[in-house]
Structure 1
Amino acid sequence: MSLTGASHTTVSAHLAGLRHWHIAKGQPWHGRTERIRLALRAVAKSPRPPRPSRLPITVPLLLRLRRRLRREPLPATDRRAAWAAVTLGFFGALRGSEYLAPGTARYSRRRTCLRKHVTLKTDSLTLHLPASKTDQTGRGADITLPRLEGPACPLRAMRAYLASTSHLPGHVPLFVLESGSYATIPWLNGVFRRYLPSPAGRFSTHSLRIGFATAAAAAGATDNTIRASGRWQGSSHVRYIQGPRRDVWHACLAVNATSGR
């Protein structure tokens, strides 16, 4: 596993999972040997290749992506699904795994975000997350977003997408494409690669989360507000705040000014 670039923490987590499986099955666990201890120590000291830069998607980039999506000959359902997924992921500071399906033809009714988990009101959107990375008890969480002025409004984007797929039942994944496939993290990453190319690095679903933290900090939001909005623990959100704060702040203010473009 270390040959794939996995960290000491990742390897230890996999070993912990194997240990739990053995205990659950009533089988003896032989993973606490001197050889494994030395192997973990070697992994911890091994140099790791640098991670590719994870770029933030900011408001101007959201608007650029919107213009590209409107020009491309995409199925209307896919275009609306992409824009709704992008705005929801950005303003909700969501992890891709929290609201996108785990596979194009499979999902879990207990852990996957479904259509029935969205509630739209005149001035707000509420999304229930049945499971997340930091939700170890499975209680879920509710994310409420306000209606925003300008084109990058998650409420209007979601309303347009749901209206175009109103024939679908509530127990299927939230985002379903024209082909009937479920929208996944690789699918949305592909949207970024095709319609938002960047020579500095690749955008991904996590770029939306990074972009929110960056824009919120630039707008003067407190650490507690950013932490609560993204459901970050401790100060882990700090490493996501990138870029000149003044530039991002002006970009946020420019949303309404560019709404007609």
Structure 2
Amino acid sequence: MFFIAHLHNAGLAPASIISYVSAISYFHKINGFQDPAKSFIISRLLIGAQNLRTVSDVRLPITLPILTKLVTAVPTVITSRYKQVMLRAMMVLAFKAYLRVGEMVPGSARTGQNCLQRQDISLNGDLISVSFRHFKHSRKHGSQSLQIPGGVIPASLISPASCVRDFLHARGTVQGPLFAYVDGTPMLRREFDFLLKHLLEFCGLSSQVFKGHSFRIGAATSAALRGESDAQIRAAGRWSSDAFRKYIRVA
């Protein structure tokens, strides 16, 4: 308890505190000791650390004009033709489907089954069908499917269906993570973050405030600006509560 309080006072993020507690828990379990982290009061302290977090979310939305800049910059910044079509499809689909980064790419190859798979996406003309089996609330609500219009986005030249179709054609039918190379090896989160950072900097945008989650924030913000209802935004982003409101960031 005192150690958790010490870490919190030292300014560590809740996720870092949880990591320390997990390490302590692992040491006890592997040595056959009683796990102190299973205590009710410890679990409540960890929740309290999350509730008391004072770090503000400075991430800005990637809106349609910014998305257009990024997509246009891809051929200049990325030399590999395959990475070009994959990154373009990732960014456009992240915006249209309100994707979390963890739904697109895994943190490591061994967790590749927890992101979108090749069989989870299909095209019927300009209609994109996406099945979500693993996402933040999937354990509670089960899998979900979305039908996403993939025609040219108004006020842009971006066609989501064309971007996805080009990538699927290049990728082939090898089963496994959707955003993967032709041999099935998935793109990992650190590579996506690295490529996005270079695109942002090329476009004169700060990678400190624009992150992978900015596509989801931008999708919610853009929907609100279009006048979509709370229910529409909640359903499109697969939110189970009104938490989507904090993603709407209109200056």
* TM-score normalised by the chain length of structure 1: 0.75
Distance in 2 of aligned mates of 1:230 and 1:42: 27
Distance apart, 1:117 and its partner CA: 1.3
Letter of the structure 1 residue corresponding to residue 161 of structure 2: L
How do residues 187-202 of structure 1 correspond to structure 2 at under 5 angstroms?
A: 187-197=191-201, 198-199=205-206, 201-202=208-209
Q: 2:106 aligns with which of 92, 101, 110?
A: 101
How do residues 80-119 of structure 1 correspond to structure 2 at under 5 angstroms?
A: 80-103=85-108, 105-109=109-113, 111-119=114-122
Q: Percent identity?
A: 23
Task: Tell whether 2:168 aligns with 1:162.
Answer: yes
Which residue is equivalent to 1:64? 69
Distance in 2 of aligned mates of 1:141 and 1:14: 34
Measured against aligned partners, the alpha-carbon deviations of 1:173-197 in whole angstroms (never above 9, x if no partner) come to 1012479642233222222210113
SS of the residue 1:205 aligns to = coil
Distance in 1 of aligned mates of 2:144 and 2:50: 34
Task: Tell whether 2:229 aligns with 1:240.
Answer: no
Q: Residues 51, 165 of structure 1: CA spacing in aligned structure 2 closer, same or farther, 3 A cutoff?
A: same
SS of the residue 1:132 aligns to = coil
* TM-score normalised by the chain length of structure 2: 0.77
Distance apart, 1:202 and its partner CA: 3.1
Structure 1: gaps spanning 5 or more residues: 245-261
Distance in 2 of aligned mates of 1:137 and 1:52: 26
Distance apart, 1:106 and its partner CA: 3.1
Q: Residues 229, 27 of structure 1: CA spacing in aligned structure 2 closer, same or farther, 3 A cutoff?
A: farther
Distance apart, 1:227 and its partner CA: 0.6
Which residue is equivalent to 1:176? 180
Question: How many residues are treated as equivalent by the alignment?
Answer: 236
Q: 1:143 aligns with which of 128, 141, 146?
A: 146
Measured against aligned partners, the alpha-carbon deviations of 1:160-182 in whole angstroms (never above 9, x if no partner) come to 0111122x41x221012479642
Over aligned residues, Cα RMSD in angstroms?
Answer: 3.8
Query: Is the contact made by 1:127 and 1:144 (CA closer than 8 Å) also made in structure 2?
Result: yes
Structure 2: gaps spanning 5 or more residues: 1-6
Query: Is the contact made by 1:55 and 1:201 (CA closer than 8 Å) also made in structure 2?
Result: no
The structure richer in helix per residue is: 2
Letter of the structure 2 residue corresponding to residue 226 of structure 1: I
Query: Is the contact made by 1:185 and 1:205 (CA closer than 8 Å) also made in structure 2?
Result: no
Distance apart, 1:71 and its partner CA: 2.2
